[in-house]
Chains A and B, each alone.
Chain A
Amino acid sequence: MSFQKSWSELQKMARACRIVVDTLDALEGAAVPGVSTKELDRIAREHIVKAGAKPAFLGYRGYPASLCVAVNEEVVHGIPGPRKLKQGDIVGLDLGCVVDGFYGDAARTVAVGRIGDEARRLMKVTLESLFAAIDLCRPGKRVGDLGHAVQSHAERHGYSVVREFVGHGIGTHLHEEPQVPNYGPPGRRERLVPGMCLAIEPMVNVGGAEVEVLQDGWTAVTKDKSLSAHFELSVAVTSFGPWILSEPYPYADQQAEARHA
């Protein structure tokens, strides 16, 4: 299965992704010292509902919130609660919404106040590794090429990538084929074709790659309690190259009748 989307379906994907990233922008401004992660979840939900969408995570496999919050050594899937953000924390915000039957999914790690050099470097390298993978979203490349790009960039800087969680195809479901690991050899796995939509999401740790899931059944933390960062964007493969779905279609001027196929 290739899960190719038509042009009109990509438009709907873009709408959902736009709402997610707009909401993340609002959350980034709200992530200040003293605010609880529960409060961020409330802001996220209200923002999404106001935009005419539905939170995608709420109820997904029993997940109890709209937003995933991952503070410092938390990797992903942190459930919002009474914990208050502190100056110097880095906090991963992962959010999804569904509108008109199509899903958008994105995440970023943001700084709470002033943060240390190591945290800043980790965030920079993780974001760079995401874009290294996005650059490869062209027809003919393979899913393994993306993971290889993420892994080699992160490890070049002495960091490690998480194996237990992977990116995924996205569309009329939050998680679709194919899986998009952030590691592995190039040239393997599914071939990319125009119309494929992938949620690419490197999770990078300062220390070891091992993670464990806490008692709540969701929150994943690094085993050695080292800092972890997570960035995610939903990207469509087009015949011209990658289209980050939360951005305007970037190839409109390349062809009078700009089509993805």
Chain B
Amino acid sequence: MPEVAPRDVIEVPGTVKEQLPNALFRVELENESRGQVVAHVAGDASLLRLRPGDPVVVELMPYDMGRGRIVRRRS
């Protein structure tokens, strides 16, 4: 009987709050008031030009909910 593989990343909508050094951004999450996370961008260079206020989707790992990766813009 196969084990059900846990989906180990969750995607959460958020809004960019602040640009940080090293291509990091502070992102405010929009659901369940989980507050802010520091997120790096995932691959796509166009994400490097994010500005405060941009809506994005952040991927979180259960191991460290305070950090995430921005996977795409949200329109």
Contact = CB atoms under 8 A, between A and B. Distances in A.
Interface of A: 56-57, 60, 63, 68, 76-77, 94, 96, 105, 107, 163-168, 174-175, 179, 181, 201, 203, 230, 232
Contacts of A230: 2
B2 A166 contact: yes
Interface string B1-36: 111110000000000000000000000000000000
Contacts of A201: 2
B4 A60 contact: no
A37 B50 CA distance: 56
A168 B3 contact: yes
Given A94-B1, A166-B2, A179-B3, 5 more contacts: A57-B1, A60-B1, A96-B1, A163-B5, A165-B2
A63 B4 CA distance: 13
Nearest to A96: B1
A181 B5 contact: yes
B3 A166 contact: yes
Contact of B1 (A105, A163, A181): A105
Nearest to B7: A164
Interface residues of B, number: 5
A3 to B, nearest CB: 14
Contacts of A165: 2-5
B1 A164 contact: no
A77 B4 CA distance: 10
B5 A77 contact: no
Contact of B2 (A56, A60, A167): A167
A123 B1 CA distance: 18
Contacts of A167: 2-3
B1 A76 contact: yes
A230 B2 CA distance: 10
A182 to B, nearest CB: 9
A174 B5 contact: no
A218 to B, nearest CB: 10
A175 B3 contact: yes
A175 B1 CA distance: 9
A19 to B, nearest CB: 15
A166 B5 contact: yes
A179 B3 CA distance: 8
A203 B4 CA distance: 12
B4 A164 contact: yes
Contacts of A63: 1
Nearest to A230: B2
Nearest to A67: B1
Contacts of B1: 56-57, 60, 63, 68, 76-77, 94, 96, 105, 107, 174
A105 B3 CA distance: 12
Contacts of B3: 165-168, 175, 179
Contacts of A107: 1
Contacts of B4: 164-165
A95 to B, nearest CB: 8
21 contacts: A57-B1, A60-B1, A63-B1, A68-B1, A76-B2, A94-B1, A105-B1, A107-B1, A163-B5, A164-B4, A165-B3, A165-B4, A165-B5, A166-B2, A166-B3, A166-B5, A174-B1, A175-B3, A179-B3, A181-B5, A201-B2
